[in-house]
A and B are shown apart, each in its own frame.
Chain A
C-alpha cells in the first residue's frame, strides 16, 4: 500500500477539503472561515498558540461537534455534520489530547474494539458462533496483535491499558485508531508528555504510517517534531487561519512569529 509520493508533491489528490469552517460556543467564536486541504499520503501539521482552535477544528472534523458554517469533503464525499461513528466508518480515525483509552480493558481488547467498524458479527453470530463469526473473530485478534507489534507494544498486549506507561498509552491509542483502517489519521498532540527519545520513536512511527499510505493530520506543540515530520503546516490563531505552507516557510512568517511571541514593542 505504499504511496511512494514525494514530499510536497503538488499533483497529489486532495483527501480532505475544508471550506469556510466556523464554530461558535456561546459568545466565543472558536473558528472563523477556516479553509484547508490535506493531500493523500501527506503529513499535515496544525499548529497555533493555546486556545487557537486546533482541538475544536479536530472535533468538528471528526463529528464530535457539528460546524456552524462551512463544509468538509473527504475523498470526494461531503461529510459535514455526519455523526462521529459515521466519520470513523468513512475512514477518519483520531486520538485524543487527554488520552481516552478503555483504561480497564487490556491493550489487545482496546485494539480489537477498533476493528468493530470493519467487522459485522451481530448478536446471532455471537450466540451461534458459526464458522464465519469464528473466522472473523480470529481475524480481529490477529490484526490487533499485528497492530500492537506495529506500534511496538506487543509484549504488553494483556496488560490493562490504563496501567501502561504514558508513551505506550499514546502508541496504543494510535494502534486502536489504525485498527479502523483509516485513510486519514488525526492525532491530537501525540508527543505531549513524551521525553526526547520517546518523541524520536514516535516520529519514526508517524513516518512509517505515512509510508503505508495513510495521511496524517497532526496537532503538536513540539515544534522540533512538527518541523521534521510535517510536509505542510496550517497555523491558526484566534480561530482563524494565519498561514499555511512548508514548515520552513511558516517558521519565517511574520504573522506566525507575532502570534507566538507577540507584537514587538
Chain B
C-alpha cells in the first residue's frame, strides 16, 4: 500500500515537472508561429490573473462586481505614473507592483464600504457605476493639474528590468533568441503559479470558509460570530489587489495606456470568464479565462483565410464573428452547463437543489 502511495506521489511529481517543463519551453514553440502569439499568450495570462482576482469577490464571497476593471485601471495607472517620463519617475517594478496592489486594495475598500448592505443585482449596478466613475476620472484628471494626461493616455512606460536586463529587448542566451515578450511570459507564468497557490490556500482556510458562509447566508454567518463587514471588505481588497498587480503588468507590457483600455466591456469579459469557466472553481476560472482569451485570436487568424479560400472574399468580419460565437457559446453554456464548464462542487449542489425545488413546486 505504502509502495503504491509512494509510486503515486512519484507519478504525480513527474507529471508536475513535465507540465512545468512544457510551460517553460512553450514560448520557444509559440515564437515559431510568430512573436505575436507570445504576446497573445501573455495577455491571456493577464486576463487569467484578473479572472482569479475577481473569482475571490464573485466566486468565493458571492459579491457580483461588474466594475472590476477599475482596479486593473488603478494598478495600470499606478505603474504608469511611477515609471514613465510623465512625472519623470522611474521606480523599479518590484517597488511599484506592491504599491499598485495596495492602492487597488484601497480602492477595493472604497467600493466595498458604501455597498456593504447591497446584494445581487443592486450591488452589480453600483459596482458597474464605480467602474465607469474611475474611467471617467482617468479621462478628466488632466486639468487643472495634469495627473492622468486625459484621453491621450500615458506613453513610454518603462518596461520591467531585472539587474539591468530590460524586458523590452531581445537577448541571445546560449545561442537561443529570447525576446521581450518571452521574458514577460516567464514572469507572468511564475506570478500565475503564485496567484493560483494563494487562491487554493485561501479557499481552504478559515477566511475562505467565512467567505462561503457570507455567500450562503449572511445573517447566519453573523450569528456564527463572523464580522461580515470585515470579511466582505477583505474579499473586495484581496480581489482588487490582484487586479492592481495585473494592471501594472499590463502597463509595462504595453508601454502605453489610456482610459480606452478600461471600458465596461473589459469588466464584462472578466465576469464572463469566471461564469463560463465555473464560479468558485479555480481551475474552471482558469479554463474560462484561457478560452475567452485564445478563441477570438484563433478566429482572427483562421476566419479570414478560410473565407477567402471558400468564397474568394471576406463575408463576415472576424470581429463580428467573434461576438456572435461568444454570445452563442455563453447561451449554450448557460443552457447545458449552468454552473460553468468546470463547476465548483458547491455551485453544482446549489443549482441541483434549486432545480429540485422548482420541480417540487411544479408538482404541487
Contacts and interface: CB of A to CB of B under 8 A. Distances in A.
B205 A116 contact: no
B221 A103 contact: no
B223 interface: yes
Given A88-B224, A180-B225, A126 B216 contact: no
Given A101-B220, A122-B207, A126-B206, A117 B201 contact: no
A176 B202 contact: no
B349 interface: yes
B322 to A, nearest CB: 35
Interface residues of B, number: 31
A163 B357 CA distance: 12
Contacts of B234: 123
Contacts of A96: 220, 223
Max chain B C-beta neighbours (<10 A), residue from A62, A64, A162: A162
A125 B219 CA distance: 26
A116 B206 contact: yes
A102 B226 contact: no
A121 B207 contact: yes
Given A102-B212, A102-B213, A102-B217, A113 B207 contact: no
A6 to B, nearest CB: 32
Contacts of A179: 224
A146 interface: no
Given A88-B224, A100-B217, A180-B224, A126 B349 contact: no
Nearest to B350: A104
B222 interface: yes
Interface string B197-234: 11001100111111011001101111111111000001
A109 B225 contact: no
Contacts of A62: 223
A168 B242 CA distance: 41
A103 B350 CA distance: 8
B238 interface: yes
Contacts of B212: 102, 105, 109, 113
A88 B210 CA distance: 15
A93 B222 CA distance: 11
B316 interface: no
A92 B117 CA distance: 24
A164 to B, nearest CB: 12
B265 interface: no
B349 A100 contact: no
Interface string A107-151: 001001111111111110111010001001100100000000000
Given A85-B225, A117-B225, A127 B201 contact: yes
Contacts of B238: 123
Max chain B C-beta neighbours (<10 A), residue from A85, A101, A163: A85
Interface residues of A, number: 44
A102 B220 contact: yes
A117 B226 CA distance: 6
A136 B210 CA distance: 15
A84 interface: yes
Given A88-B225, A117-B225, A123-B207, A102 B216 contact: yes
B207 A109 contact: no
B353 A64 contact: no
A121 B206 contact: yes
B346 interface: yes
A89 interface: yes
Interface in B171-204: 197-198, 201-202
A137 B353 contact: no
A94 interface: yes
Interface string A26-51: 00000000000000000000000000
B223 A84 contact: yes
A88 B206 contact: no
Contacts of B198: 127
Interface in A161-183: 162-163, 176-177, 179-180
Contact of B213 (A113, A119, A162, A180): A113
A157 interface: no
Shortest 10 CB-CB distances between A and B: which pairs? A117-B225, A126-B205, A88-B225, A102-B216, A84-B222, A100-B220, A104-B349, A121-B206, A104-B350, A113-B213
Given A113-B224, A116-B206, 4 more contacts: A104-B353, A113-B226, A121-B205, A129-B201
Interface of B: 197-198, 201-202, 205-210, 212-213, 216-217, 219-228, 234, 238, 346-347, 349-350, 353
